[in-house]
Amino acid sequence: MTRILFALTPATGHVRPVLPVVQRLAQDGHDVTVYTGERFGDAIAAAGARHAPTTIGRDLPEALVEAWSRRNGAPPPGLRRLAWDVLHHVVLTIPGFLVDLADLVRDERPDVIVSDTAMVAGVLAGRVHGIPTVSLSVSPLSLTSRDTFPFGTGLQPPQGPVERARAAWMRVAVQRGLFRAAQREALQVVAEAGLPRPRGFVLDWAQTLADRVLHLSVPGLEYPRADLPTHVEVVGATARSGPAAPFDEPAWWPWLHAARASGRRVVVVTQGTLATDPAQLVLPALDALRGEDVLVVATTGAPGLERAVPATRRAENAVVERFVPFEHLLPLADVLVTNGGFGGVQEALAHGMPVVVAGRAQDKAEVGARVRWSGAGVVVHTDRVTDAATPAAVLRGVRQVLTDQRFAARARELACEYAALDGASRVADVVLGLAGRGALTADPA
């Protein structure tokens, strides 16, 4: 029996993709503990693992993240906001997480620590205590590369010597300029933890300091990189295998089957779980598609927000819910309109469904860039300050994806890639193999 400690950022998009791995390992008889926020306790218990809730480490509910950030001086969406987020939500949370993890390492004596790439404390704890680490990439691969522009720009890979030179200049400007404060604070955190100074850019540490990095996606949705380190592997998504779990179908569910039977298109609109202001995407999408011959299913992503959508904004061809299980909904739909959550985009593509991305906050500019690069969808403009889409932009995006069959064809090709890779099994195999190597020396080279 292997003792495994998962350290996961307390956010749905970071916990949910990892739970199938947790369940797989627990079912196979391994001793699994998951350190993350309080609200994920029931889901962790259902996966068969022990939950270790944060105590000193920050556990900020997702619905409050944006308001908290604005109160503390966060800039509008873009590279400056990404740098601010990395400083305040990643770097400055490391000390509290390290305290909690030190207690867990002492009590649980894990053979391996598995963390997501935003939980830098996970790989640092491994270095402090001499434990092997696996870092799971649950967003577009952020590792610095000479074959990409800096993460957060949302720019396609450079082509030709002029673009490559521009990308190289931007990497220096971003790392030494916008991320200067995050880099400085991160180095201070590492020094206080008693570790030697790591080399490289702070945004890369979760990937360069880990023994193995497993990217939870497929090759067709990630940029090719000639300089990809050998310890980094694209393993596929971690969707649960087997039939979808039963759920109580709402009263409007027969409309979906009727739409499919008649050839009427079904458009799913989602706000995700973090950026939940319906004015950013749900309301513009409802307005945009009001006169279209489609059935719209919009999900708000947070309790009570479905009631915040005024009756005057609810078109006759639309329903609004807080949440509908995608494993039931997506097989009956034709296109996903999303603010760019990586998990939702991957679920749609795994079902062979093209996407329309309307969002730039957090990592969403990079998600949209991958969608555009893959040919499986389009990106529509959002406001530079509010990150809200306009009805006209959403309508153009939906019409483009539904009328040009190349998007659906490419999405079906990606679905084959998802079907061919069992991400959960591969992650479990790597974790168990690494745990068998025993303790490592605390050398963050």
**Where in the chain are the domains?**
3-236+421-436, 252-420
Helix or strand holding residue 361 (H, E): none
Q: Tens-digit pLDDT profile for the chain (445 aa)?
A: 899 999 999 999 899 999 999 999 999 999 999 999 999 999 999 999 999 999 999 998 887 888 899 999 999 888 999 999 999 999 999 999 999 999 999 999 999 999 999 999 999 999 999 999 999 999 999 999 999 999 999 999 999 999 999 999 999 999 999 999 999 999 999 999 899 999 999 999 999 999 999 999 999 999 999 999 999 999 999 975 445 667 888 999 999 999 989 999 999 999 876 767 788 899 999 999 998 999 999 988 665 555 555 554 556 788 888 888 888 999 999 999 999 999 999 999 999 999 999 988 778 999 999 999 999 999 999 988 888 999 999 999 999 999 999 999 999 999 999 999 999 999 999 999 998 864 443 344 4
At the topology level of CATH, where does 3-236+421-436 sit?
Rossmann fold (3.40.50)
The closest of 350, 353, 366 to 401, measured between CA atoms, is 353
Using CA atoms, how far apart are residues 221 and 71, in angstroms rounded to an integer? 35
Query: Would you call 356 helix, strand, or coil by DSSP?
Result: strand
Q: How many CB atoms lie within 10 A of CB 201?
A: 21
Strand stretches in 244-300, DSSP E:
265-270, 294-299
Kindly state the tokens that stand for 161.
């010597």
| Fold match between domain 3-236+421-436 and domain 252-420 | yes
Using CA atoms, how far apart are residues 290 and 305, in angstroms rounded to an integer? 20
Q: What is the CATH number of domain 252-420?
A: 3.40.50.2000
Kindly state the tokens that stand for 367.
């998600």
The closest of 316, 323, 346 to 421, measured between CA atoms, is 346
Q: What are the backbone dihedrals phi and psi of residue 30, each rounded to the nearest 5 degrees, phi first?
A: -90, 155
Using CA atoms, how far apart are residues 99 and 334, in angstroms rounded to an integer? 47
Using CA atoms, how far apart are residues 17 and 6, in angstroms rounded to an integer? 12
Sheet of 318-321: strand order equals 318-321, 294-299, 265-270, 335-338, 355-357, 377-379
Q: Which residues 6+ apart lie within 8 Å of 313 measured at CB?
A: 283, 286, 287
Using CA atoms, how far apart are residues 59 and 77, in angstroms rounded to an integer? 22
